[in-house]
Chain A
Amino acid sequence: MSRKADEIMAADTLKDAKKLQASFISTEPFQESSKEKEKEKDNNKLFHIHERNVSDEISERTFQDVSLCYQCGKCSAGCPVRYYMDIAPNKVVRFIQLGYYEEALKSETPWLCAGCLACSVRCPKEFDLAKFMDAVREIAIEKGVEIKQENILKFHKAFLDQIKNHGRSYEVGLVAEYKMKTLDLFQDVDSAPGMFLKGKLDLLPHNIKNRKEIKSIFKKTSGKK
């Protein structure tokens, strides 16, 4: 995180933060590089209104206004995985509120969020942070942002591939595909054989009958929004 971003994050009010942000001339909106856009950027230093902004996109997808969050930090205080994250969950919201989309979308935090919903039920503003994190991840994938927690994404892809092919999860296929993708060949070597011996893992997948329907759902939902 840049020093400037830190200063902005520390501002007392949203108004102060936006003033500070405007004073930093080098403020760079996310994924803007062409000369034309540079010009436009000068006209809109305060808000990145030249493209459909990520903040509005998230508000729309989650049916809740991102500006609802007043940064009390209760979510981060009670988050069971905060310790493993690069930035606190409430800070991801702050970055989005202030237009620092790249900082938010590149953060590891949304990927480490376990979706336990503790934050969502505790929020004094009833802001559903877990749902917000879903939207951040979804947009990060759509924009092709580099995902630092790549193994987590590879796991989700491998899991969904099983559903796409069989209609149900297939743990042997999942683990095999995950290991191929990550080349992490030795983890779980102690538990997988045990699962076979106990008859818990089936060698063959449970294929549902109407796999055509599942394939069609995947196909129709795979495009960008």
Chain B
Amino acid sequence: MKYGYFPGCSLTSSAKEYDISLRKVIDKLGISFDEINDWSCCGATSAHVTNHKLSTALAMRNIMLAEQQGLDNIIAPCAACYNRLIISQNEIGKHTGIRKETEDLLSVKFKKDVKVFNILELFLKSGLNKIIENRKRELSELKAACYYGCLLVRPAAITKFDDAEEPESMEKIVEATGADTVDWNYKTECCGAAHSIARRDIVVDLSKKIIDDAITHGANVMVVACPMCHTNLDMRQRAMKRKYPDHKEFPVLYLTELIGLSLGMDEKELGIDLHYTNFKYADTLLNNSAKG
């Protein structure tokens, strides 16, 4: 199946490595993408918290473009984009007033239902066996805390693919790479999201709690599937260190980077060197065997 691709703004800038690793991985797994032509921002948090009409129109413009391009299934790797797209689709499906308002704004009539998938659904649907078949590197030294954040699994009535409180789909993918996963409490606890700039203090506190819980439960790496979560959990560790001097750097990987590692790609190729925290699989091996 050919997917439409909606990268979203973060994947062209602060989350470049997510885009780089995703493209490398799906290429290796034989999945193909068509990027949506001239896509625009989904409106993100800023639109829906200030202007509902605007947020629906910005999100639906991309669905309109996908439809015009003949793409029935699209992948939105950014959890926030995914959430805005499916919520907007759900609203125009349920409320004829919003549908008409949005169609008027975009001068379009929505004809079919373009299906939007998140990154977990992509690998669950068409990649799990392929990952296992193509594994080149042993990752069993990795104890991963799978962090879903908020927007992949909520609201469950609309996302309809995993449990909102106790999701397990990412664990299935991570285990397919050969890495181990840990049971922990903060899989779906909020990292502070869009407050990263205006209220960094909140983000630092919330993200610190998440990292600490992962460490307490024996994780040596965190795996995420959202650029905003990654920024807060990875880049904000410097601010964390200032506020909590005993904080120890903890590596945070995108799910696609972990898959790439298992497929035999190296850290640099996957863009892992673009992170703020250091991660070298060889180091993890050394540390673990030193402890053992």
Contact = CB atoms under 8 A, between A and B. Distances in A.
15 contacts: A81-B190, A116-B150, A116-B154, A137-B49, A141-B51, A157-B50, A178-B198, A191-B276, A194-B276, A200-B13, A202-B12, A206-B12, A217-B54, A220-B105, A221-B57
A47 interface: no
B274 A199 contact: yes
B199 A168 contact: no
Main secondary structure of the interface of A (DSSP, over half): helix
Contacts of A220: 105
Contact of B38 (A115, A182, A201, A210): A210
Given A116-B190, A200-B13, A221 B51 contact: yes
B194 interface: yes
A88 B170 CA distance: 33
Given A188-B200, A222-B54, 11 more contacts: A121-B155, A121-B157, A133-B49, A155-B197, A159-B46, A160-B54, A198-B273, A200-B14, A217-B61, A218-B54, A221-B57
A159 B44 contact: yes
B251 interface: no
Nearest to B80: A115
A195 interface: yes
Contact of B190 (A80, A84, A153, A214): A80
A121 B12 contact: no
A80 B202 CA distance: 10
Interface string B162-189: 0011000000000000000000000011
Contacts of A171: 13-14
Nearest to A194: B276
Interface in A95-149: 112, 114-118, 120-121, 128, 133-135, 137-138, 141, 149
Interface string A189-225: 0110011001111100010111001100110111001
B73 interface: no
A85 to B, nearest CB: 10
A118 to B, nearest CB: 7
B258 interface: no
A198 B38 CA distance: 26
A154 interface: yes
Interface residue tally on A, bucketed by range:
35 or more
Interface in B237-292: 238-239, 273-274, 276
- What 10 A-B pairs have minimum CB-CB distances, sorted nearest first? A169-B9, A116-B190, A117-B154, A156-B46, A116-B150, A159-B46, A155-B198, A221-B54, A167-B40, A151-B198
A63 interface: yes
A160 B40 CA distance: 12
A134 B170 CA distance: 30
B124 interface: no
A31 B51 CA distance: 22
- In this complex, the member of A114, A118, A200 whose beta carbon has the largest number of chain B beta carbons within 10 angstroms is A114
Contact of A114 (B43, B48, B195): B195
Contacts of B154: 116-118, 120-121
B117 interface: no
Contacts of A209: 38
A161 B58 CA distance: 13
B274 A198 contact: yes
B141 to A, nearest CB: 27
A167 B189 CA distance: 31
A152 B199 contact: yes
A160 B43 CA distance: 8
Contacts of A154: 198
Contact of A138 (B13, B51, B61, B195): B51
Contacts of A195: 14, 235
B123 interface: no
